[in-house]
């Protein structure tokens, strides 16, 4: 348990996950204080219950052997069984109330409570503390028990004769003694020290068991005395039970209030922390460069920021509810139980041992499975995402069955592991119950014989049983944590992995600024780039200059490295060797924000966001004027289709832009780039879905309106770039030709080949 908690803590520390905990420390502190209060209440209850059984029921509400009042006659009878010193001691704690002084203050005060005062003087107990009571208990018990016993004999002559015979009297004496009144009997006894010693010894052997049994033995005598005093003994008993019951009710309410408050605090802490971690995770992922996105799959990042965080949230809740409470309850329970019946310690030891063994076995079997389960959830997400996003392709190729199979496999794998874990739980819970009931039976078995022998009280046995059950519950709670903690520690590691991954692309500590006025001259100087983990360079030794007011086109077969070149300019990746400068400044020396501020990027796969056409365009510039938005739409040749929609610019765009065609999406993406008014345009194969007519109209309008900008176009179409000032021909990551269309037609075989395959003879000139 402790090992696992520290393991989770270590993970948390490693990446300052603790920083997410700090704001919640006061709440957790308060929860711990409340848990102590709750444990105090819960642990007190069995004790009070045992009081109700022992004192309330069995002793008729008499909680000590020191009566609150005694008749004068009883006191003098008791003296026979006391040493002179004890007599003085006892008298010192009682006040004499004379029955003849009917006008005295004490008489009027006590006459209602003790009606016997009308006929006989009484002794009333003074204020006295618990320790004094404990000291006096055996002294008075040893005297009041024989007095009660003698009183019984006076009322029951058959019992009396039996007892007198056993005391060694002959038949004549027995007849004489049984005929005596109670007072005469005690007068006789006071003159027969041998008999007194005999009775004292008899009682001593009975009382050899201990304090609680002494009180219990004296209880019936005291109750008889109370009845003789004229007190309502039923009411006395009821008052005791109601009093203790009331305290129990209050403790239960307090415990309940603590439980509710702790749950509230735990919920606040866990959800709050989950919210903060999610926020932190999202912020981190937002800063990730493409390298990190390649490292963690999108599916995994989604699982981590949802499922894994939920795991942690759940565990934090449980930790606050249980991890602190279980040990308090367990240790407290052991203490209280041993207090009730210390000789039954071995029952607790045995049950704890059994539980520890079971928990350890379950733990060792379950932990590896938990590690797997999160990976399987990842896999399931991945498969589901892939086949759902590619649903059209799946259908077109009639591959539904294949996809189903793939999904089924992931699903079945996950189900199998989950089932295994659940089965383990299913076995564990009844096993725990079996142990719990076994313990109860054992305690009753042993306890009942001890009760019969008079060495244990029934209430103490019941309390002991309840404490043992509380101890078992504490262990049960810990076992639940054993199940949850490893799983959470897997989740923590997975989140920590993300949080501790520093993006490879970062701003320098001392960033430069671009010179003003900004021109937008892009220069590649011997740039090579290799994707992380790849075996060969994607592009190699690339050098060229792209100038403002000019179009630089990159052409080449698929996989030649065209997109790679474009992605290096906004620093989606950093060059492996060489350098890229913009206006003479290495792009690694300025902030990513400054750099990207200058760039209008239209990716190969246009990404639109859910919202309207307008909100998508304003993504580039919130403050852009309506006229400017319209002109961007005009330039990008989107005007016709935008105005054909009844809502025009307010047309809804579905999530992922699925309700517009590929070509429309490209045009809106270009319009979005135009709204940004950048100095550099990067168009990565952005005309591919346009028909030739729209393509050329767009290029013309684009050139007219963005004349001063640097334009880099990646394309497969020669017609798109025929008029470009510079065309770079790429093959296998290297430049194999550079120049204008006319120059390249003469000098580059590769270019000529591409051109010939696309255009007819007249167009080629």
According to CB under 6 A, which one of 313, 563, 679, 694 is a site residue for ligand ADP? 563
Dist. CA 531–CA 514, nearest whole Å: 28
**CB 236, CB 159: distance < 8 Å:** no
> Which lies closer to ligand ADP via its Cβ, residue 566 or residue 617?
566
Q: Give the shortest CB-619-to-ligand ADP separation in angstroms.
A: 24
Q: Give the shortest CB-331-to-ligand ADP separation in angstroms.
A: 56
Identify which range of 266-274, 432-440, 505-513, 530-538 contacts ligand ADP by CB under 6 A.
530-538
Q: Respond yes or no on whether the N-terminal peptide bond of residue 517 is cis (omega within 30° of 0).
A: yes
Dist. CA 105–CA 308, nearest whole Å: 78
Q: Give the shortest CB-289-to-ligand ADP separation in angstroms.
A: 11
By CB under 6 A, is residue 584 in contact with ligand ADP?
Answer: no
Dist. CA 635–CA 673, nearest whole Å: 11
Per-position DSSP letters for 489-514, written without gaps between them:
HHHHHHHHHHHT---S----SS-B--
Please name the helix (run of DSSP H) or strand (run of DSSP E) that holds residue 617, with its range, or none: helix 613-618
Report residue 167 as tokens.
Answer: 């005391």
By CB under 6 A, is residue 531 in contact with ligand ADP?
Answer: yes
Instruction: Provide the sign of the torsion angle of the four alpha carbons 144, 147, 153, 159, taken in this order.
Output: positive
Q: Give the shortest CB-414-to-ligand ADP separation in angstroms.
A: 28
Report residue 706 as tokens.
Answer: 């963005």
Q: Which of 65, 103, 102 is nearest to 81 (CA)?
A: 65
Q: Which are the contacts of 739, defined by CB distance < 8 A and separation ≥ 6? A: 726, 727, 747, 748
> Which lies closer to ligand ADP via its Cβ, residue 321 or residue 562?
562
What does DSSP assign to residue 558? T
N- to C-terminal Cα separation, the chain: 80
> Which lies closer to ligand ADP via its Cβ, residue 658 or residue 758?
758
> Which lies closer to ligand ADP via its Cβ, residue 289 or residue 723?
289
By CB under 6 A, is residue 396 in contact with ligand ADP?
Answer: no
Q: Give the shortest CB-727-to-ligand ADP separation in angstroms.
A: 15
Please name the residue that has the structure tokens 């800063």.
287
Report residue 161 as tokens.
Answer: 């004769």
Dist. CA 581–CA 558, nearest whole Å: 26
By CB under 6 A, is residue 564 in contact with ligand ADP?
Answer: yes
According to CB under 6 A, which one of 562, 667, 672, 676 is a site residue for ligand ADP? 562
> Which lies closer to ligand ADP via its Cβ, residue 561 or residue 678?
561
Q: Give the shortest CB-425-to-ligand ADP separation in angstroms.
A: 42
Q: How far is CA 513 from CA 315, 586, 589, 623, 718, in A?
A: 48, 10, 8, 24, 37
Question: What phi and psi, each to the nearest 5 degrees, are found at residue 15?
Answer: -125, 25
> Which lies closer to ligand ADP via its Cβ, residue 115 or residue 559?
559
> Which lies closer to ligand ADP via its Cβ, residue 15 or residue 563?
563
Please name the helix (run of DSSP H) or strand (run of DSSP E) that holds residue 545, with its range, or none: strand 539-546
Dist. CA 326–CA 678, nearest whole Å: 62
According to CB under 6 A, which one of 3, 85, 452, 534 is a site residue for ligand ADP? 534
Question: What phi and psi, each to the nearest 5 degrees, are found at residue 646?
Answer: -60, -35
User: What is the pattern of x (binds ligand ADP, CB under 6 A) and - over residues 287-306?
Assistant: -------x------------
By CB under 6 A, is residue 666 in contact with ligand ADP?
Answer: no
> Which lies closer to ligand ADP via its Cβ, residue 7 or residue 734?
734
According to CB under 6 A, which one of 520, 561, 600, 657 is a site residue for ligand ADP? 561
According to CB under 6 A, which one of 285, 560, 727, 728 is a site residue for ligand ADP? 560
The site that binds ligand ADP (CB under 6 A) totals a number of residues, namely 12
> Which lies closer to ligand ADP via its Cβ, residue 534 or residue 623?
534
Site residues (CB under 6 A) for ligand ADP? Answer: 294, 531, 534, 538, 556, 558-564
């Amino acid at each position: 348990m402790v090992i696992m908690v520290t393991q989770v803590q270590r993970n948390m520390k490693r990446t300052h996950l603790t920083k997410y905990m700090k704001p919640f420390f006061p709440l957790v502190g308060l929860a711990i204080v409340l848990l102590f209060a709750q444990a105090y209440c819960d642990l007190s209850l069995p004790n009070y219950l045992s009081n109700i059984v022992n004192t309330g029921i069995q002793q008729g509400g008499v909680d000590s052997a020191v009566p609150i009042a005694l008749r004068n006659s009883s006191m003098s009878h008791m003296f026979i069984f006391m040493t002179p010193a004890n007599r003085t001691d006892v008298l010192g704690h009682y006040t004499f109330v004379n029955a003849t002084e009917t006008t005295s203050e004490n008489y009027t005060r006590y006459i209602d409570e003790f009606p016997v005062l009308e006929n006989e003087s009484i002794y009333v107990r003074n204020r006295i503390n618990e320790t004094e009571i404990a000291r006096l208990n055996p002294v008075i018990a040893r005297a009041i028990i024989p007095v009660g016993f003698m009183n019984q004999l006076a009322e029951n002559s058959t019992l009396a004769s039996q007892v007198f015979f056993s005391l060694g009297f002959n038949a004549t004496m027995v007849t004489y003694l049984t005929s005596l009144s109670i007072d005469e009997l005690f007068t006789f006894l006071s003159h027969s020290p041998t008999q007194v010693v005999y009775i004292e010894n008899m009682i001593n052997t009975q009382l050899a068991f201990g304090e609680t049994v002494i009180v219990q033995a004296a209880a019936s005598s005291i109750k008889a005395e109370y009845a003789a005093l004229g007190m309502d003994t039923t009411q006395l008993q009821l008052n005791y039970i109601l009093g203790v019951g009331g305290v129990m009710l209050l403790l239960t309410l307090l415990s309940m209030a603590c439980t509710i408050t702790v749950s509230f605090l735990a919920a606040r802490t866990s959800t709050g922390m989950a919210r903060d971690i999610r926020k932190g995770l999202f912020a981190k992922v937002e800063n990730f460069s493409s390298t990190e996105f390649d490292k963690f799959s999108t599916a995994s990042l989604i699982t981590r920021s949802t499922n894994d965080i939920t795991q942690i949230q759940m565990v934090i809740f449980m930790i606050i509810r249980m991890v602190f409470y279980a040990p308090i309850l367990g240790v407290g329970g052991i203490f209280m139980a041993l207090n009730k019946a210390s000789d039954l310690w071995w029952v607790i030891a045995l049950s704890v041992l059994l539980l520890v063994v079971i928990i350890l076995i379950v733990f060792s079997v379950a932990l590896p499975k938990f590690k797997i389960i999160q990976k399987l959830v990842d896999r399931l997400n991945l498969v589901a995402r892939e086949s759902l996003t590619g649903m059209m392709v799946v259908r077109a190729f009639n591959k539904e069955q294949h996809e189903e199979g793939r999904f089924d496999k992931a699903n079945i794998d996950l189900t199998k592991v989950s089932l295994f874990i659940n089965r383990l739980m299913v076995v564990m819970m009844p096993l725990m119950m079996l142990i719990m009931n076994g313990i109860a039976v054992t305690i009753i078995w042993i306890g009942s014989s001890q009760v019969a022998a008079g060495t244990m009280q029934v209430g103490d046995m019941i309390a002991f049983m309840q404490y043992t059950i509380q101890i078992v519950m504490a262990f049960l709670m810990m076992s639940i944590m054993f199940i949850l903690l490893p799983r959470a520690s897997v989740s923590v590691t997975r989140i920590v992995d993300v949080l501790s991954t520093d993006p490879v692309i970062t701003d320098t500590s001392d960033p430069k600024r671009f010179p003003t006025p900004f021109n937008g001259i892009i220069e590649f100087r011997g740039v090579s780039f290799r994707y992380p983990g790849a075996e060969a360079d994607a592009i190699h030794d690339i050098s060229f200059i792209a100038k403002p007011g000019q179009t630089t086109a990159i052409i080449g077969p698929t996989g030649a490295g065209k997109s790679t070149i474009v992605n290096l300019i906004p620093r989606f990746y950093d060059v492996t060797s060489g350098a890229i400068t913009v206006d003479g400044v290495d792009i690694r020396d300025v902030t990513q924000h400054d750099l990207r501020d200058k760039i209008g990027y239209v990716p190969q796969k246009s990404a639109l966001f859910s919202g309207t056409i307008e909100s998508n365009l304003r993504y580039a510039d919130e403050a852009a004027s309506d006229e400017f938005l319209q002109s961007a739409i005009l330039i990008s040749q989107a005007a016709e289709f935008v105005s054909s929609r009844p809502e025009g610019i307010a047309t809804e765009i579905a999530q992922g832009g699925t309700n517009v065609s590929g070509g429309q999406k490209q045009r809106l993406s270009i319009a979005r780039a135009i709204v940004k008014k950048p100095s550099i345009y990067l168009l990565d194969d952005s005309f591919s879905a346009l028909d030739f007519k729209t393509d050329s109209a767009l290029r013309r309008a684009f050139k007219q309106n963005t004349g001063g900008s640097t334009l880099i176009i990646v394309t497969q179409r020669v017609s798109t770039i025929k008029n470009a000032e510079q065309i770079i021909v790429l093959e296998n990551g290297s430049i194999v030709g550079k120049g204008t269309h006319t120059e390249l037609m003469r000098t580059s075989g590769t270019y000529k080949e591409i051109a010939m395959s696309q255009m007819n003879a007249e167009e080629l000139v």
